[in-house]
Amino acid sequence: GQNIDQPTEMTATEGAIVQINCTYQTSGFNGLFWYQQHAGEAPTFLSYNVLDGLEEKGRFSSFLSRSKGYSYLLLKELQMKDSASYLCAVRGSNYQLIWGAGTKLIIKP
Amino acid sequence: DVKVTQSSRYLVKRTGEKVFLECVQDMDHENMFWYRQDPGLGLRLIYFSYDVKMKEKGDIPEGYSVSREKKERFSLILESASTNQTSMYLCASSDTPYQETQYFGPGTRLLVL
């Protein structure tokens, strides 16, 4: 079957760095996405990886290893507004997105 | 700025009622999607559409139907609402099937009593 795993909840301190992991088993791979979703709001696009390696975008970076079925989202210089759920999604062989359940990130002062 | 709007943020309906959830996007996107989001589960695709009057079943289409009469509008219909359809419903759109980004609406939280 197809599966996306990510931790349910993580806690970090303002100003620190946090890494949110995502592992996947899918039939086919056509890219991995990270979305941010604040409570009660729509998911918004953060990053897209289709090749191995690190993609950096300001305070956020995303890494992909296709051979390991693994990705992480790295958030630096954490701010209180980064408190949100982070959703990992893989585009499979039929080009539809398969979603993880999301990681709720709690930032403490 | 891409804008996806949904007709209601919150909706309360009774079991057996017919429910219409409307979604409108203003970016002339080809593709539109309906998902439901439940605690502890990833987003699950109900239906999607790649063109006007075209629809494809997603992973959980049972109990739902859709309508896309105009490019900008994609409606989700619950023919006879049941309590297990209590959920958050999210609409999304994207420019092509292969585009990186899906743009989401704010969601409709539906409670079926």
pLDDT in tens, A21-42: 999 999 889 999 999 999 988 9
pLDDT in tens, B89-101: 999 999 876 656 8
In sequence order, which residues have a C-beta less than 8 Å from that of residue B105 and are 6 or more positions away? A42, B4, B5, B6, B23, B90, B91, B92
Q: Return the SS3 of B18.
A: coil
The verdict on a CB contact (< 8 Å) between B107 and A41 is yes
The verdict on a CB contact (< 8 Å) between A97 and B101 is no
In 3D space, the residue among B27, B28, B15 whose CA is nearest the CA of residue B85 turns out to be B15
Residues 57-86, chain B, touching A (beta carbon < 8 A): 58
The pLDDT value recorded for residue A20 is 98
In 3D space, the residue among B58, B37, B62 whose CA is nearest the CA of residue B47 turns out to be B58
The pLDDT value recorded for residue A96 is 83
In sequence order, which residues have a C-beta less than 8 Å from that of residue A77 and are 6 or more positions away? A15, A17, A59
